[in-house]
Amino acid sequence: MDWILLGPPGAGKGTQAQRLARRWNLVHLSTGELFRQHIHHHTPLGAKVAHYLEKGELVPDGLVLELVRDQFRQLPPDQGCLLDGFPRTRVQAEVFEHILQELGRRLGGVLFLQVGTEELVRRLMGRGRMDDTPETIRQRLQVYQRDTEPVIQYYQEKGLLLPVSGEGTVDQVHHRLVEAVRDRRDGRT
């Protein structure tokens, strides 16, 4: 079964996804991390996406979906995946549904990490990643509101959304996520 971890930039998706993936033996698929690796290794895809990451804008859906489709085709059918930072637009969510269908896979649920804006900015400023300047941070938060909040609503309507508070320590948030997945798997939510 596959799972999605969504939330605003700075919500702690990367850290939490790594821990969850280790705990449940899921493949951790972070589209942002894959793009950063392509840029680092100067691949053709890296050259195409670099300026979007530099500006804090979204990479066009076509490129993102090609990457995700490729990654999923390589997954053994019984190997679950945890997606982090994907889908980020409604189109991505819709096409992803088809990709899963084609491959006979099923989405367990969409974990939604919720963190207040002030806390987000504080965390992003302290992170020091190459694409974390005050300008890109502002831009990414705006893009999130415009493009990604509709994705939250999309999964809410499908009954797949599992909201979890992302405030507090890494351990606290981890345990909340574990509970949310367990409740869903055991049919309590």
**Binding footprint of ligand AMP on the chain (CB under 6 A):** 9, 31-33, 35, 52-53, 56-59, 64, 85-88, 92, 140
Least distance from ligand AMP to the Cβ atom of residue 184, Å: 23
Return the percent helix, strand and coil in the chain, to nearest 5: 60, 15, 30
What count of other Cβ atoms lies within 10 Å of the Cβ of residue 45? 17
Closer to ligand AMP by CB, 47 or 183: give it.
Answer: 47
> What is the number of the residue whose Cβ is closest to ligand AMP?
32
Closer to ligand AMP by CB, 20 or 53: give it.
Answer: 53
Closer to ligand AMP by CB, 88 or 184: give it.
Answer: 88
Least distance from ligand AMP to the Cβ atom of residue 30, Å: 6
Q: How buried is residue 182: exposed, middle or buried, by Cβ count under 10 Å (0-12/13-18/19+)?
A: exposed
Separation CA 55–CA 51 (nearest Å): 6
Exposed e or buried b per residue across 117-140, where buried means at least 16 C-beta atoms within 10 angstroms of its C-beta: eeebbebbeeeeeebbeeebbebb
Phi, psi of 30 (to 5 degrees): -110, 110
Sheet holding 27-30, edge to edge: 27-30, 81-84, 2-6, 107-114, 161-165
Closer to ligand AMP by CB, 53 or 161: give it.
Answer: 53
Please answer whether residues 177 and 20 qualify as being in contact, where contact means their C-beta atoms are separated by less than 8 angstroms: yes
Least distance from ligand AMP to the Cβ atom of residue 189, Å: 25
Least distance from ligand AMP to the Cβ atom of residue 25, Å: 22
Least distance from ligand AMP to the Cβ atom of residue 183, Å: 26
Closer to ligand AMP by CB, 120 or 180: give it.
Answer: 120
Tokens of 7: 């939330």
Closer to ligand AMP by CB, 9 or 109: give it.
Answer: 9
Least distance from ligand AMP to the Cβ atom of residue 92, Å: 6
